[in-house]
Structure 1
Amino acid sequence: MNPLESSPPIRLLLCDDHAVVRAGLRALLASTDGIEVVGEAGSGEEALALAARVRPDVVLMDLQLGGGMDGVTATRRLTSAPAPAPAPAPTPGGAEGSGTPGPRVLVLTMFDTDADITRAIEAGATGYLLKAERPEELFAAIRDAAAGRTALSAPVADRVLAQMRSPRPVLSERERDILRHLALGLGNREIARTLFISETTVKTHLGRIYGKLGVDTRAAAVAVAGERRLLLP
């Protein structure tokens, strides 16, 4: 007997702001046994509300959700909040009883930057998959996530290992302030006035920022900070 036929299907909630993508995923997932799509959300806010009602085992989460709450924030909210009162029958990915952990979150995205991966994992994502993966890899990742096992696309796993070998730079709050003003196009004198510090102090901080980011120009510093999402709150 197929082991998938002897246990309840994995309850899956889709969260992607593109209706066509959700429809494609639903059709794709209908072709495999043991996975049941129990809801679709087009925003982070909608995903939170639906998850409270349908109690999925796994949420398949996009990171970029247009306006409103992004996928990382929704992931953090889903994985940190206790689940609501239990449904009559237990589900394969969760435990019975009030106060049980929320659903597993499996990120499915086009983006594989170091910053995106780090933020998603820090938010509590069980796995991180790229949309270019084959259907079989997606099915396996959903099953792994439901069982509490980490699921990473091969390119993502490579980047995670690279980050561990060479951690991303840590900027002080003052350095972040200066970078934010650089991104707005302000010069040293304007930054000094805005932050109530001297131009010499601004230059000193810029030197440290350049060293941490491995750059030697203002434009490059802003570009690298944007790529790594170092300026996000």
Structure 2
Amino acid sequence: MTRILVVDDHAVVRSGLMMLLNNKHGMDVIGEAADGNEAIELAVKLQPDVVLMDLSMPGGMDGMTATSELKKQLPETAVLILTMHDDEEYLFRAIHVGASGYILKSAPHDELMTAIQSVAKGDAYLYPTATKKLMSEYLDKLKTGDSSGTFDSLSEREKEILAWIAKGYSNKEIAEHLIISVKTVESHKSNLMEKLSLKTRPELVKFAMKKGLLNFE
């Protein structure tokens, strides 16, 4: 029996997931939480096999932070992100903080079941279009190599900030981690984008992947 903790700030969503999952395909929802803080507390107490984690939970600890903290305390517990965000920035950051899988709330029920079963066994799971995105990036790297600006032209601080940006952190979060001002982060970001001839965050992510800066281990 796969023991599941459901985490979402909407009570209706939690109830729906519990009705869907309970006693089906060897699954048992053993608890529910409305935010990240409650999720960590219950996970430590209940020791679930899988935590089904939403990302956006206003008013409490968000799912990304909760996932990172939960994996530190319960490294054997699998975290499956269930979210509305079909965005590579969220996907990359979720992988970085230790999530075992990432699936959209719009996914068919059967796909959700498959995802839970996969991460419960210790495997990784990404929704199909996410897998295509990662494969596309990998193939592009093999075919074209680095076609954008010169990486060596960046300062060590710019390289550091590039890595943080690519992992999905906001300017404010980067500033807090590096103990510098948000204005300084914005200045470095502007400089490195100019040096690399890049205009958007997705382009930065793509460049960082080619340079191996995401380091998801």
Q: Identify the match of residue 35 of structure 2 among 36, 43, 54.
A: 43
Higher mean Cα deviation, 48-57 or 59-68? 59-68
SS of the aligned residue for 2:61 comes to coil
- d(CA) in 1 for partners of 2:106 and 2:197? 30
- d(CA) in 2 for partners of 1:159 and 1:68? 31
Aligned 8 A contact 2:4 2:48 in 1:
yes
Change (3 A) 1:20 1:205: closer
Q: Identify the match of residue 110 of structure 1 among 72, 81, 84.
A: 84
- d(CA) in 1 for partners of 2:66 and 2:110? 26
Change (3 A) 1:33 1:67: same
- TM-score, normalising length from structure 2? 0.68
Structure 2 alignment gaps of length 5 or more: 165-169, 173-180, 206-217
User: For 1:133-156, what per-residue CA distance to the aligned partner results, in whole angstroms no more than 9, with x for missing partners?
Assistant: 111111111111110011111011
- In the TM superposition, what is the alpha-carbon distance from 1:29 to its structure 2 partner? 1.1
- In the TM superposition, what is the alpha-carbon distance from 1:207 to its structure 2 partner? 4.9
SS of the aligned residue for 1:52 comes to helix
Residue 73 of structure 2: aligned partner: 81
- For the pair shown, which has the larger CA radius of gyration, 1 or 2? 1
Structure 1 alignment gaps of length 5 or more: 1-8, 83-100, 182-190, 196-201, 216-220, 229-233
Q: Identify the match of residue 107 of structure 2 among 133, 144, 147.
A: 133
Change (3 A) 1:174 1:22: closer
User: For 1:56-111, what per-residue CA distance to the aligned partner results, in whole angstroms no more than 9, with x for missing partners?
Assistant: 000001111113321111111111224xxxxxxxxxxxxxxxxxx34100111111
- d(CA) in 2 for partners of 1:205 and 1:47? 34
Residue 147 of structure 1: aligned partner: 121
- Pairing of 1:173-212 with structure 2 (within 5 A): 180=171, 206-212=190-196
Change (3 A) 1:55 1:209: same
- TM-score, normalising length from structure 1? 0.64
Q: In the alignment, residue 112 of structure 1 is paired with which amino acid?
A: D
User: For 1:117-175, what per-residue CA distance to the aligned partner results, in whole angstroms no more than 9, with x for missing partners?
Assistant: 111001111111111111111111111111001111101112222344469x9954678
Residue 124 of structure 1: aligned partner: 98
- d(CA) in 1 for partners of 2:46 and 2:95? 24
- d(CA) in 2 for partners of 1:139 and 1:66? 27
Residue 92 of structure 1: aligned partner: none
Aligned 8 A contact 1:75 1:124 in 2:
yes
Change (3 A) 1:172 1:48: same
Q: In the alignment, residue 79 of structure 1 is paired with which amino acid?
A: K
Residue 157 of structure 1: aligned partner: 131
- In the TM superposition, what is the alpha-carbon distance from 1:12 to its structure 2 partner? 0.1
Change (3 A) 1:212 1:148: same
User: What is the root-mean-square deviation of aligned Cα atoms in Å?
Assistant: 3.4
Q: In the alignment, residue 59 of structure 2 is paired with which amino acid?
A: G
Aligned 8 A contact 1:11 1:36 in 2:
yes
Q: In the alignment, residue 139 of structure 1 is paired with which amino acid?
A: M
Residue 210 of structure 2: aligned partner: none
SS of the aligned residue for 2:117 comes to helix
Q: In the alignment, residue 71 of structure 2 is paired with which amino acid?
A: T
Aligned 8 A contact 1:29 1:35 in 2:
yes
Q: In the alignment, residue 206 of structure 1 is paired with which amino acid?
A: S
